Amino acid sequence: MEEVLYNVLGAIATFLVAFVVGMTYGGLNRKITARVQNRKGPPFYQNFIDTLKLASKKSAIHHGVMQHFGPAFLMVTSVMSLLIVPVLTHNQWFPNLNFHGDLIFLLYIMVFGPLGMALGAGQTGNPNSAIGITRGLSQMVGYEIPWVLALVALMIQYHTTSIVGLMAVQAQSGTWLMFSSPFAFIAAVMAMLGMFSYSPFDVVIAPAEIASGPASENGGKYLFTMMSSGSVFAFVKLTLYVDLFMGGADNIVILLVKTFALYMIPVLYSLTTVRYRTEQSIRWFWGWPSFFGLLAILQAVIF
C-alpha cells in the first residue's frame, strides 16, 4: 500500500516537473520566435499567466458530455505516456510504470488522447474543429511512417522493444544511439517536426484559417486542460527522444540541456518555412524522412 502511495506521489511530482518544463519551453518558443522576427515578444513566463487566467475562468455553456470528456482523454494520454517514458535514470522520485514501458504501447497510447479530444471537439458541432481534426489525423499518418521506421530499426538492431531496454543498450556500450544509428535518428527527428505541428506542419490549427481547429469551441477550464496537457506532452516527447537517442539523463540539469537542444530543432525549423498543405506535408514525410528510415532499417539488418 505504501508503495502505491509513493508511486502516486512520485507520479504527481513528475507531472509537476513536466508541466513547468513544458510551459517554460512553450514560453521560450514564443520569445525566440519573436526575437527572430525582430519583435520584442512576451516574457517567457507568459504561458503560465495564460493558463492561470484560463484556469480561473468559469464556463457557462457546453455542447454535450463528450465535450467534457475530450480534454480528460487528452490528459490521460499525456499522463500515461509520462508514466511510461523514463524521465531520469536511477532516481527514486520518478518511479513510474516504465519498468514495463514498451515502445509499441507508447505509440498507441499516444493517439488515445488526440482521438478522444477529437470526439470532444466533434460534439461541439463546429465545422472548423472537424476540419482541423481531419487534417491532424491525416498528417499523423504522414509522420508516423518515418517515426515507426526509425523505431523498428532500433528494435531490430538491439533486439528489444522496450524503452528501458534501449537505454540499457546505450549505458552498456557508452555510445548514444544517435551516433550508432544515425539514420534512425535523422528519420525520427524529421518525424518530430510533424509531432510538434509547428510551421510548416501547423495546418492542423491554422489560426487564421480555421479558427484554431479542434480547440475552437473550448474556453476556460477546457482550454486550460488542453494547454497544460499539450505542455506535458511536449515534455514527454522530448524526454522520449532523449531516452532513445541520447542515452537518457541522470539528473534534471542534463535532462533540461538535452531536451532543450532537441526542442530547438522544430522551433528553429519552423522559423524558416511556411505552412504546407496537408497533402504536401504527408508527401514530405513519405519522402526523405521515410527514405532515411529505410536506410536505418537497412543498417539494422546489415549490422
Partner 1 sequence: MNTIYIIFLIFLGGAVFTYFAGKIHKVLQDILFLVSILVPAYLFFANVEIGQNVNLTLGGISLSWGINYFSWLFSLIVLGLGSLAAIYAVGFMKGEKRRGYFYFNFILSIMAMTGILLSRDLVSFFVFWEIMTWSSYLITIYNGNKVQSIGIKYFVFSAIGAYAMLMAIVMVHHITGSFLIGDMIHAYPAMALSMQIWIPIMFLMAFGVKAAMMPLHVWAPGAYSNAPMAYTSVFSGALSKMGIYGMTLVLVTMVNHIPQGVWFREVLAWLGGITAVIGTLWAIQQDDAKKLLAYSSVAQLGYIITGIAIGTELAMLAGLFLAVMHALFKGTLFMVVGAIEKQTGTSNFTEVTGLIRKMPWTFLSALLAIIALAGIPPLGGFVGKWMLYESLITSNHYLLVIVIFFASTAAFLYCYKFLFGFFMGQEEKEWAHVKEAPAVMVLPMLIMALFMLVLGTFPGIILNPINHGLQALGYADSYKHLWDTSIILNSWGNKVVLQPILYSIAGIFLFFIAFLTWKGYKNTRFISTKDISSSGEVPKEDENLTFSVGFMQPFYRAVEPAMRRQIDKYYNAFADGLEATFEFLRRIYTGNGQTYAIYVIVFVVVMLLFKDFLF
| Residue span 64-83 as binding mask against partner 1, x where in contact by CB under 8 A, dash where not | xxx-xx-xxx-xx--xx--x
Please pick, from the candidates 13, 63, 206, 264, the single residue that binds partner 1 as defined by CB under 8 A: 63
Q: How far is the CB of 61 from partner 1 (least distance, A)?
A: 5
H/E run at residue 51: helix 46-56
**Which region among 34-42, 117-125, 172-180, 261-269 touches partner 1 (by CB under 8 A)?**
117-125
- Closer CB to partner 1, 204 or 267, in the complex: 204
Q: How far is the CB of 29 from partner 1 (least distance, A)?
A: 26
Q: Taking CB under 8 A as the rule, does residue 61 contact partner 1? A: yes
- Please choose, from the candidates 116, 112, 128, 113, the residue with its C-alpha nearest in 3D space to the C-alpha of residue 230: 113
Q: Taking CB under 8 A as the rule, does residue 126 contact partner 1? A: yes
d(CA 303, CA 300): 5
Could you tell me if 232 and 78 are in contact, meaning their C-beta atoms sit under 8 angstroms apart?
yes
Q: Taking CB under 8 A as the rule, does residue 243 contact partner 1? A: no
- Closer CB to partner 1, 166 or 262, in the complex: 166
- Please choose, from the candidates 81, 58, 88, 33, the residue with its C-alpha nearest in 3D space to the C-alpha of residue 230: 81
d(CA 303, CA 297): 10
Q: How far is the CB of 278 from partner 1 (least distance, A)?
A: 3
Q: Cell 508516423 identifies what position?
A: 144
- Closer CB to partner 1, 33 or 278, in the complex: 278
Residues in the chain: 303
d(CA 66, CA 167): 39
Q: Taking CB under 8 A as the rule, does residue 13 contact partner 1? A: no
Q: Taking CB under 8 A as the rule, does residue 144 contact partner 1? A: yes
d(CA 234, CA 302): 34
Q: Taking CB under 8 A as the rule, does residue 57 contact partner 1? A: no
Q: How far, rounded to the nearest angstrom, does the alpha carbon of residue 228 sit from its chain's CA centroid?
A: 12
Please pick, from the candidates 20, 137, 256, 295, the single residue that binds partner 1 as defined by CB under 8 A: 137
Cis peptide preceding 200, ω within 30 of 0: yes
Footprint of partner 1 on residues 282-301 (CB under 8 A)? 282-283, 297, 300-301
- Closer CB to partner 1, 131 or 267, in the complex: 131
Q: How far is the CB of 132 from partner 1 (least distance, A)?
A: 11
| Residue span 147-176 as binding mask against partner 1, x where in contact by CB under 8 A, dash where not | -xx--x--xx--xxxx--x-----------
Q: How far is the CB of 252 from partner 1 (least distance, A)?
A: 23
Tell me how many residues contact partner 1 (CB under 8 A).
73
- Closer CB to partner 1, 104 or 171, in the complex: 104
What angle in degrees, to the nearest 10, is found between the helix axes of 252-272 and 2-36?
A: 40
Query: Hey, what's the cell of 71?
Result: 480534454
- Please choose, from the candidates 151, 193, 205, the residue with its C-alpha nearest in 3D space to the C-alpha of residue 287: 193
**Which region among 30-38, 136-144, 170-178, 230-238 touches partner 1 (by CB under 8 A)?**
136-144
Q: Cell 472537424 identifies what position?
A: 130
CB atoms within 10 A of CB 138: 15
Q: How far is the CB of 102 from partner 1 (least distance, A)?
A: 5
